[in-house]
Amino acid sequence: MSEEFDSQAQGLDMAAASVPLSSEDPQAFGRFVVDSVYRIMKVASIYSVEHNQTRQAMEAFMPAFRQSVAQVDGGAISLTIRGELCSVNGDTLRLRRKEQERVNELHGIFKAATIRGIAFEEAMTIDDLVAFLGALNEAGRSGTGMEHVHVPNIEIQHGTPDQSIMEAIAQVNKAMYVAHIYIRALVKVRNMHEHVQQTQSPEVPTGVVRRILQTVSELLADDDFTILGLLPLRLVPPDVSSHSVNTAIYAMLLADRLGLGQQMTAYVGMAVIYQDIDRLVGISVGHRDRDPGLDSHRQFSANLRDVALMLDHVDGDIISTLRVLLTYERGCAFENEVGRPFYRAPRKLHLICRIIDLCRTYDLLIQGLQGYKTRRPDLAIQYVESRAGEVFDPHLTRLLVSTLGLFPIGSTVQLSSGESAVVIRTPSPAADPRRPVVRVLNRRDPIVIDLSDPRYEHIEIARSIDLDESAETNPSQVFLLT
């Protein structure tokens, strides 16, 4: 056995011994159960069931299992998988990206053995677990299923772990909730902009928008694929308001991927919103990619003038600080050479400035605003990639590309099989970025295909396409009903 597998299994073994959470929080408890089951099955898939490493992992798993099962009514812990949904003791879990990836791996294990759920009873022993894992591995290899398998203290729910039609329909409510949050943000920001334009004052109530972005920051980890699918669909005519909301969400997404907390992520989004409010009263917003810019001294003077204009409207809190920072660094190149403004030494823009600059340009390309030609999402990705290291931070550009994919969500593509499809989920970071999850645009057979699945290795994306808006199948409808 390789050293890589040894290291991986030992890490899983140690982590399996972690202390369980209270069942009074079904979501946290359910995620703990999924993590524990994943780890024990992962070790068993790396080694044979009889291997010493597998036995050690089971011994580490059992104390945590005993403490966990003692907290639930009925003396059993059940785990059921339906497509991308996972429930523990009947509670459907809201999973972050890494947790969802683990559930997807469990889905593959369950599907190979033709089971959709398991229940570990309180009296389960290590010998019972050994027997179950052995039968599970054999069923996965042979494809014979587990109908004939009977293990003491472990109940097996047979059948495929795919979603039923009713379960898929139930997911529409979740997508519609995210759409509601997004559309509400569009409406509120547009109303704000109209107020600022009428009064020519940046003093405008922003409490509702702050609460909306706080909700978005909570949704990003669980439902980012739905949010990201909405942004390029242009549900309203392109304008400064929709650009402001979209840029805020893209910037919040990168902040979330960088590990910033939810509150700080929401601050980043609000900094974008305020930047556009300030812009409406004459305080400039950076446009580093296209503007020829002023000479060094005049640019520095212009930036200081705009900072002075906004000082009467800021309160010294975090968002105010970000507003001043964004204005101060406006017009500055990504990497300044000696002789450029802001002293005489080379310097880089602040991280949040770099995030917002990149996200602004990407959305301007999608919406076709401020002199940019409207581009498909994949061509917008190519555009910002071509300017990485010059106009945009190359590390953030790579993060944006790995998050959105080479064919971002909402892209319409033609498959090598001839069908048209819409991208509904980007590949995992470890997968081939050219092989996302797509939904075929065919009413009679509306199937979802994960192009990274070996079963579909003969199908690939041939090219991106622009669909006629009058086409019978509307990609936005397909996306929201996925």
Domain span including residue 337? 167-404
Question: 328 and 437 share a domain?
Answer: no
Whether pLDDT at 194 is above 90: yes
CA 377, 383, 389 angle in degrees (round to 5)? Answer: 130
At 347, the pLDDT band (50, 70, 90 cuts) reads low
Question: 178 and 316 share a domain?
Answer: yes
Average confidence (pLDDT) over 398-427: 84
At 481, the pLDDT band (50, 70, 90 cuts) reads low
Question: 456 and 348 share a domain?
Answer: no
The confidence score (pLDDT) of residue 52 equals 77
DSSP at 118: E
Residue 338's CATH number: 1.10.3210.10
The confidence score (pLDDT) of residue 47 equals 67
Q: Which residue has the higher pLDDT, 57 or 389?
A: 389
Question: 18 and 109 share a domain?
Answer: yes
CB within 8 Å of 378: residues ≥ 6 apart: 406, 407, 408, 411, 464
Give the DSSP H/E element, type plus range, for residue 61: helix 52-69
- Please, what is the average pLDDT of the chain? 80
Q: Which long-range contacts (C-beta less than 8 Å, at least 24 apart) are formed by 156-160?
A: 156/115, 156/117, 156/118, 156/132, 157/80, 157/115, 157/116, 157/117, 157/118, 157/119, 158/114, 158/115, 158/116, 159/114, 159/115, 159/116, 160/111, 160/114, 160/116
Average confidence (pLDDT) over 79-92: 84
Helices (H), 151-238: 165-199, 207-230
Average confidence (pLDDT) over 410-439: 80
Question: 179 and 245 share a domain?
Answer: yes
At 170, the pLDDT band (50, 70, 90 cuts) reads low
Average confidence (pLDDT) over 40-64: 77
Last residue of a domain, one of 163, 187, 209: 163
At 101, the pLDDT band (50, 70, 90 cuts) reads confident
The confidence score (pLDDT) of residue 444 equals 59
Last residue of a domain, one of 404, 434, 458: 404
The confidence score (pLDDT) of residue 89 equals 83
Question: 387 and 422 share a domain?
Answer: no
Between 41-55, 117-131, 188-202, 247-261, the lowest mean confidence (pLDDT) is in: 41-55
The confidence score (pLDDT) of residue 470 equals 40
At 364, the pLDDT band (50, 70, 90 cuts) reads very high
Residue located via tokens 């009903």: 481
Whether pLDDT at 474 is above 70: no
Contact indicator for 232, 466 with CB cutoff of 8 Å: no
Question: 82 forms bridges with which residues in the sheet?
Answer: 85
Average confidence (pLDDT) over 344-360: 82
Question: 104 and 239 share a domain?
Answer: no
What are 134-159's pLDDT values in tens digits? 899 888 888 888 999 999 999 998 98
Question: 258 and 357 share a domain?
Answer: yes
Select the highest-mean-pLDDT range: 138-142, 166-170, 176-180.
138-142
Q: Which amino acid is at 46?
A: I
Question: 191 and 46 share a domain?
Answer: no
At 8, the pLDDT band (50, 70, 90 cuts) reads very low
234: exposed, middle or buried (C-beta count within 10 Å: 0-12, 13-18, 19+)? middle
The confidence score (pLDDT) of residue 477 equals 56
Rounded distance between C-alpha atoms, residue 440 and residue 437, angstroms: 10
Whether pLDDT at 338 is above 50: no
Whether pLDDT at 1 is above 50: no
Q: Which residue has the higher pLDDT, 218 or 107?
A: 107
Among 266, 245, 247, 246, which residue's Cα sits nearest to residue 255? Answer: 266
What are 258-277's pLDDT values in tens digits? 988 888 999 999 999 999 99
At 168, the pLDDT band (50, 70, 90 cuts) reads low
Contact indicator for 381, 401 with CB cutoff of 8 Å: yes
Question: 316 and 425 share a domain?
Answer: no
Question: 327 and 185 share a domain?
Answer: yes
At 172, the pLDDT band (50, 70, 90 cuts) reads low
Select the highest-mean-pLDDT range: 162-171, 213-222, 265-274.
265-274
Select the highest-mean-pLDDT range: 19-28, 298-307, 366-375.
366-375
Contact indicator for 271, 319 with CB cutoff of 8 Å: yes
The values of phi and psi at residue 124, to 5°, are: -60, 140
Contact indicator for 227, 249 with CB cutoff of 8 Å: yes
As for how many domains the chain has, the answer is 3
The confidence score (pLDDT) of residue 189 equals 95
Question: 142 and 239 share a domain?
Answer: no
Last residue of a domain, one of 404, 438, 463: 404
The confidence score (pLDDT) of residue 445 equals 58
The confidence score (pLDDT) of residue 37 equals 87
**DSSP line for 383-431:** HHHHTBTTTB-HHHHHHHHHHH-SS-TT-EEEETTS-EEEEEEPPPTTS
Whether pLDDT at 400 is above 70: yes
Whether pLDDT at 416 is above 50: yes
